[in-house]
């Protein structure tokens, strides 16, 4: 019989509760890591995919002007991949411009890669079309470095408002709308996306039949519409609290995609529309405690 996994709160069982909690918080990254495995499987005969995690100097420079901790999030993604048995390696901004370097990877993870130049964007796009797997996490990318210093916005450069992610928008096949930060949100499996092979593999490895991620303190988010039949939502936002940091009523985005599996040419993409790395135990134990749900198999 299925049973719901809930946080253990009984006194005298702290050690057992902590072990159960660690299994639950691992579910967030297990979903992502299984997506990495799933992306690599068609193109790779090896058991462990060749995974690169971008350490973007241009993004770090941009983040420093905003006071954002991108370095910690990049490291958390790298550490979490190691924890689940992968052997990630760091890649640089320059590597993304080199087709020969990209050819050495099955999957590239972009953890909050806010800045990417045109050459890299086009090279990565073509690498995906040739069979590569990309896992971008939230706003990856949005800006590009200007020749004289500073940064420009891709939708202004391309004169196409919905193409928020620059040349990679062609591969993402989503129409960007807005990015207010909800005060609270949940992430649910999409009704059709739950049957996607990547999600089924992730749930099987977790021993779950479903999953719900509760975010009572909110999270960074992007809201976009599916623009192609090549895109299958995997997770959706559930938003009942209208509040947001920017003062926008975010209930209008209830039900919007929160993660998508996308086919582009011979390759695939899993895009996360929310700041999911913030909830890895490698980044924040306090935020990781916000993972609540799941129905166990058996």
pLDDT of 3 > 70? The answer is: no
pLDDT at 287: 72
pLDDT at 241: 97
- For 5-9, which contacts have Cβ atoms below 8 Å and span 24 or more sequence positions? 5/208, 5/293, 5/294, 5/295, 5/296, 6/292, 7/292
Residue 205: which domain range? 3-296
User: How many domains does one find in the chain?
Assistant: 1
Residues in contact with 149: Cβ distance below 8 Å, sequence separation at least 6, in sequence order: none
The model scores a pTM over 0.95: no
CATH at 75: 3.40.50.880
pLDDT, tens only, 134-191: 999 998 898 888 888 888 877 777 666 677 888 899 999 999 999 999 999 998 999 9
pLDDT at 85: 77
Of all residues in the chain, the percent with pLDDT exceeding 90 is 46
**Average pLDDT of 254-278?**
92
Q: Which residues of 138-228 form beta strands (DSSP E)?
A: 143-145, 151-153, 174-178, 185-189, 208-210, 212-215, 223-226
């Amino acid at each position: 019989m299925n049973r719901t996994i809930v946080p253990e709160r009984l006194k005298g069982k702290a050690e057992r509760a902590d072990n159960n909690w660690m299994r639950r918080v691992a579910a967030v990254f297990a979903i992502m890591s299984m997506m990495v495995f799933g992306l690599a499987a068609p193109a790779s005969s090896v058991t462990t995919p060749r995974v690169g995690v971008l350490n973007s100097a241009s993004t770090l420079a941009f983040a420093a002007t905003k006071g954002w901790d991108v370095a910690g999030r990049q490291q958390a993604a790298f550490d979490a991949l190691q924890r689940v048995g992968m052997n990630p390696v760091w890649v640089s901004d320059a590597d993304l411009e080199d087709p020969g370097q990209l050819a050495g990877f099955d999957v590239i993870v972009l953890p909050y890669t806010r800045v990417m130049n045109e050459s890299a964007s086009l090279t990565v796009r073509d690498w995906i079309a040739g069979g590569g797997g990309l896992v971008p996490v939230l706003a990856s990318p949005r800006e590009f470095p200007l020749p004289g210093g500073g940064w420009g916005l891709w939708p202004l450069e391309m004169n196409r408002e919905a193409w928020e992610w620059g040349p990679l928008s062609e591969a993402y096949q989503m129409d960007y709308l807005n990015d207010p930060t909800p005060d609270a949100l949940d992430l649910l499996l999409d009704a059709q996306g739950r049957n996607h092979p990547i999600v089924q593999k992730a749930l099987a490895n977790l021993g779950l039949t479903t999953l719900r991620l509760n975010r009572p303190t909110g999270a960074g988010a992007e809201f976009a519409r599916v623009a192609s039949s090549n895109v299958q939502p995997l997770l959706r936002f559930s938003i009942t609290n209208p509040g947001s940091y920017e003062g926008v009523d975010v209930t209008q985005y209830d039900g919007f995609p929160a993660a998508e599996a996308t086919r582009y040419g011979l390759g695939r993409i899993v895009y996360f529309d929310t700041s999911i790395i913030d909830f890895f135990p490698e980044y924040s134990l306090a935020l990781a405690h916000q993972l609540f749900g799941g129905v166990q198999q058996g």
